[in-house]
Amino acid sequence: MTLGEPAPDLSSAAAEQLYGTLAGLFRGGGPVPNSVLGPVLDVGAGSGRLAAELARRGVPLLLLDLTDARQAGAPNAPFLRGDASRLPVRSGSCSGVHLARVLLHLADWRAAAAECVRVLRPAGVLALSLGWRLYDGPLRELVGAVHDAAEARGLRLEPVRADLDGPEELDSAFLRLGLGSPELVEVSGAVAVTPRQAVADAVHTTHRWLPGQDLGALPDIGAAVLAGSGLDADQPIPQVRTVSYRVYRRER
C-alpha cells in the first residue's frame, strides 16, 4: 500500500495567518534588514516543513538540528549540525530564533533557553511553541497504533524529557535571561486529513524518532496498520488544530 505524503499542518488560510504574523514579527525589528542584522535561527529544524513556511514569506534562515532530517520542500538555507544546549553560533549574531516542538524533548531545557537568548541580537525576536495536537478521534488512535507497532519492533520515539511545568515557568526563565513579556500568537482552523495521510505523517516524519535507528521498516509497519484499521484510507476526517506561539523580544 502506497502511503503518499502527509497533509499540511494547517489549512492554507490558517497557515497564512500564523506564518505571516511570525514572519512580520521576525522582520519587524527595525529599519535595518535581516541581511545585515543576521538570520533567524531555526533550532530543531527537523524536516524543514515549518522553516519552509517562514522562508516563503521572506525570512532569511539558518537551520540547525542534531541530525539532518530535511525532506523535499525544505528551504535552501544554510544548515548546521548542533545541540540546542550548545549552539555553534556566535553571540548576538541572529536577528531571531524559531523554536517549535523541541523544548519538551530536551532534558536541560534551561540551557537551551539560555543559548537561544545568547545568540539573539538586542531587540531580536524569539518565537517558541511547545507543540500542538495533530490528531483527534480515529486518526489519533490510528497514529498511536502505528507508534505501538513500531515500538513492538524495537523502534523508539523521542521521549518528553523536560521538567517543565508550563508556559508560566518559561516566561519566568526568559525574563531572568533578559527577554520581555511574551506576545501570544495563536491560530485555530480545521484541516481535512485522510487516514493514509496521517500514517504517512507518522512514518515519514523521522525527527520524531530517536536518532541513530534504522527506520527503514516504518513505511511497511504503517501500511500494515492502515490496512488492518478498518478505516477508508482516503476518506478525509476533519481535524481542528490550534497552534500557539509565545513571542519574546530581547530587551538587554
The number of beta carbons lying within 10 Å of the beta carbon of residue 57 is 17
Within 13 Å of residue 34, how many CA atoms lie on the same side as its CB? Answer: 22
Is residue 37 very low, low, confident or very high in pLDDT (cuts 50, 70, 90)? low
Considering the domain boundaries, does residue 65 fall inside one?
yes
Segments forming the whole domain that contains residue 104: 12-249
Separation of alpha carbons 131 and 103, rounded Å: 9
Mean pLDDT of the chain: 91
Separation of alpha carbons 177 and 116, rounded Å: 10
Domain count, the chain: 1
Read off the pTM.
Answer: 0.88
Considering the domain boundaries, does residue 139 fall inside one?
yes
Q: What is the pLDDT of residues 78-126, one digit of tens each?
A: 999 999 999 999 999 999 999 998 988 888 999 999 999 999 999 999 9
Could you identify the residue written with the cell 517549535?
A: 100
Is residue 3 scored above 60 in pLDDT? yes
Domain containing residue 190: CATH number: 3.40.50.150
The per-residue DSSP string of 58-74 comes to T--EEEEESS----TT-
List Cβ<8 Å contacts ≥24 apart for 78-81: 78/39, 79/45
| H-only helix segments in the chain | 12-27, 34-37, 49-55, 109-119, 137-152, 167-176, 195-204, 218-227
Considering the domain boundaries, does residue 180 fall inside one?
yes
Considering the domain boundaries, does residue 122 fall inside one?
yes
The number of beta carbons lying within 10 Å of the beta carbon of residue 84 is 22
pLDDT of amino acid 1: 64
Is residue 123 a contact partner of residue 28, using CB atoms and an 8 Å limit?
no
Considering the domain boundaries, does residue 193 fall inside one?
yes
The phi, psi pair for 162, rounded to 5°, reads -75, 135
Considering the domain boundaries, does residue 1 fall inside one?
no
pLDDT of amino acid 7: 85
Is residue 31 scored above 70 in pLDDT? no
Considering the domain boundaries, does residue 7 fall inside one?
no
Is residue 231 very low, low, confident or very high in pLDDT (cuts 50, 70, 90)? very high
Is residue 231 a contact partner of residue 159, using CB atoms and an 8 Å limit?
no
Q: Which of 161, 132, 157, 136 has the alpha carbon at shortest distance from 146? A: 157
Considering the domain boundaries, does residue 152 fall inside one?
yes
